[in-house]
Amino acid sequence: MPPERKKLLLRLDPTLHDALARWAADELRSTNAQIEFVLRKALADAGRLPSGVKPARPRGRPRKEDTGE
């Protein structure tokens, strides 16, 4: 069983949240997934992404063969 994902309360300026939500919709991601994507990219660009971090899930809905159906 994979480890539980951490939960975080994040307070954002409403305008910033709206911009992130629009960007996420354009990329077929949830707002939460978009925030994780941006954080991963920033950490990688700064050379601070830990080597043990698993790759991000692909955007969009999982394929039927990936869901075990």
Per-domain boundaries in the chain: 13-47
Residue 14: pLDDT band (50, 70, 90) is very high
| pLDDT computed for residue 3 by the predictor | 76
Q: Please list the helix, strand and coil fractions of the chain in percent, rounded to the nearest 5, in that order.
A: 45, 0, 55
* pLDDT exceeds 80 at position 1: no
pLDDT in tens, 22-68: 999 999 999 999 999 999 999 999 999 999 888 877 766 777 875 55
Q: What is the pTM of this model?
A: 0.75
| pLDDT computed for residue 66 by the predictor | 58
